[in-house]
Amino acid sequence: MKIGLITLIQEDKHPAPAGHPENAERLQPAVEYVLQSDIADQIKSFIPPLSNTDSIFQIHSPEYLEMAKGISESGGGFLDSDTYVGTGSYEAAWETASASIGAADTIMQGDLKRIFMAVRPPGHHAEYGRGMGFCLINNVAVAAEHLLAHHGLKRVAVVDWDVHHGNGTQHTFYGREDLLFISMHRYPFYPGTGAKNECGAGDGIGFTLNIPLPPGSDDKKYLDEFNMKVIPRLTQFDPQFIIISCGFDSHRDDPLGGMNLTETAFGEMTALLVKVAEKHGEGRVLSIFEGGYNSHANGLCLYNHLKELQTD
């Protein structure tokens, strides 16, 4: 089965400061690796047309967006000590978020069942009124909001296996029952959120599932948690669409993560999600790249991830 690949690495618009880990080189070699592999003929590369961007304004405040745009247009700067904004960064972030909407549309129209977005800047740390943690606009949250608001879906699930907690996505949907947010992450760790008792508020109680993991967690630990907690909760929720916040920074060779996963684990977790998607959501999966700072490891993880996304 062919899967979609959207590549927006944005090296020209969003170049990293010297020595910054969030740079184009963490992703470009990984994409080249899979496009030269034995699964390349099952990959359809494309860029979706710019779509309705209303959902971006539902996810982020106008004041924050204007502030980020202003910093970009005035020569660049930093939102915090880690999160840089160059002269083209706002445009790059907007295009990436718009592409996530286009990807969601493509899947809902039935053109492709599954798409991976090899994109930057990443997004899952960006909250309603601030960017942080290398993230400017929350691509996953934008896509989810678009699906709920413009495609009439009632139940969207986001599974975030980046080594860092997806505080921005949690923050956005914490009081809602139409989105199930599940995050597996190292804890305690940046950004400090993601404790087990963070489970939602108001109508959203029970629709946030945090699975904090100790440093050094390996394949067995992740897959045990996946089978005992993630899959049962997803099955209970009955998702019409699954979005993956797909970080590879829990790989054992990642310089920032401090975890001990092999690339095989990412394939196995993907296969489990595909089975849920096939049973509950017509096979629909959108995966959006987040963290991962070793280009070689990213290539191996991406290969295993895409290979399982191709499975009927």
Question: What's the whole-number mean pLDDT along residues 81-99?
Answer: 97
Confidence tier at 283 by pLDDT (50, 70, 90): very high
Rounded distance, CA 210 to CA 193, Å? 9
CB of 301 closer than 8 Å to CB of 292 = yes
The matching CATH number, chosen from 3.30.70.940, 3.40.800.20, 3.30.70.2740, 3.40.50.150, for 3-309 is: 3.40.800.20
User: pLDDT digit string (tens) for 42-58?
Assistant: 999 999 987 788 999 99
Could you tell me which of 237, 310, 302 has the C-alpha nearest to residue 271? 310
Confidence tier at 260 by pLDDT (50, 70, 90): very high
Half-sphere exposure (CA, 13 Å, Cβ side) for 236?
11
User: Residue 132: which residues within 8 A CB-CB, separation 6 or more?
Assistant: 79, 80, 82, 83, 125, 126, 168, 191
Rounded distance, CA 3 to CA 310, Å? 6
* Gap between the terminal Cα atoms of the chain: 7
User: pLDDT digit string (tens) for 232-255?
Assistant: 999 999 999 999 999 999 999 999
Question: What integer pLDDT is reported at residue 211 of this predicted model?
Answer: 99
List active site positions. 125
Question: What integer pLDDT is reported at residue 41 of this predicted model?
Answer: 97
261 beta partners: 251
> Could you please report the per-residue DSSP string of 247-259?
--TTBTT-TTT--
DSSP assigned state of 141: H
User: pLDDT digit string (tens) for 178-187?
Assistant: 999 999 999 9
User: pLDDT digit string (tens) for 25-82?
Assistant: 999 999 999 999 999 999 999 999 877 889 999 999 999 999 999 999 999 999 999 9
Angle between helices 295-309 and 28-35 (to 10 degrees): 50
CA distances from 93 to 71, 153, 255, 285 (A): 13, 25, 25, 22
Confidence tier at 199 by pLDDT (50, 70, 90): very high
User: pLDDT digit string (tens) for 140-171?
Assistant: 999 999 999 999 999 999 999 999 999 999 99
User: pLDDT digit string (tens) for 293-306?
Assistant: 999 999 999 999 99
CB of 171 closer than 8 Å to CB of 191 = no
Rounded distance, CA 227 to CA 232, Å? 7
Rounded distance, CA 192 to CA 28, Å? 30
User: pLDDT digit string (tens) for 105-118?
Assistant: 999 999 999 999 99
Residue 139: φ, ψ to 5°: -60, -45
Structural domain spans, the chain: 3-309
As given in the structure block, the two tokens for residue 37 are 């592999």
Confidence tier at 264 by pLDDT (50, 70, 90): very high
106 residue type, one letter: T
Question: What integer pLDDT is reported at residue 51 of this predicted model?
Answer: 72
Question: What integer pLDDT is reported at residue 50 of this predicted model?
Answer: 77
Question: What integer pLDDT is reported at residue 160 of this predicted model?
Answer: 99
Confidence tier at 204 by pLDDT (50, 70, 90): very high
Q: How many secondary structure helices (H) and strands (E) does the chain include?
A: 10, 10
User: pLDDT digit string (tens) for 206-238?
Assistant: 999 999 999 999 999 999 999 999 999 999 999
Place of tokens 């740390």: 125
Rounded distance, CA 173 to CA 74, Å? 32
DSSP assigned state of 227: I
Question: What's the whole-number mean pLDDT along residues 93-97?
Answer: 97
Question: What's the whole-number mean pLDDT along residues 9-14?
Answer: 97
Question: Is residue 12 scored above 90 in pLDDT?
Answer: yes
As given in the structure block, the two tokens for residue 2 are 């062919």
Could you tell me which of 145, 200, 211, 157 has the C-alpha nearest to residue 181? 157
142 residue type, one letter: V
User: Residue 281: which residues within 8 A CB-CB, separation 6 or more?
Assistant: 239, 240, 241, 242
124 residue type, one letter: H
CB of 164 closer than 8 Å to CB of 133 = yes
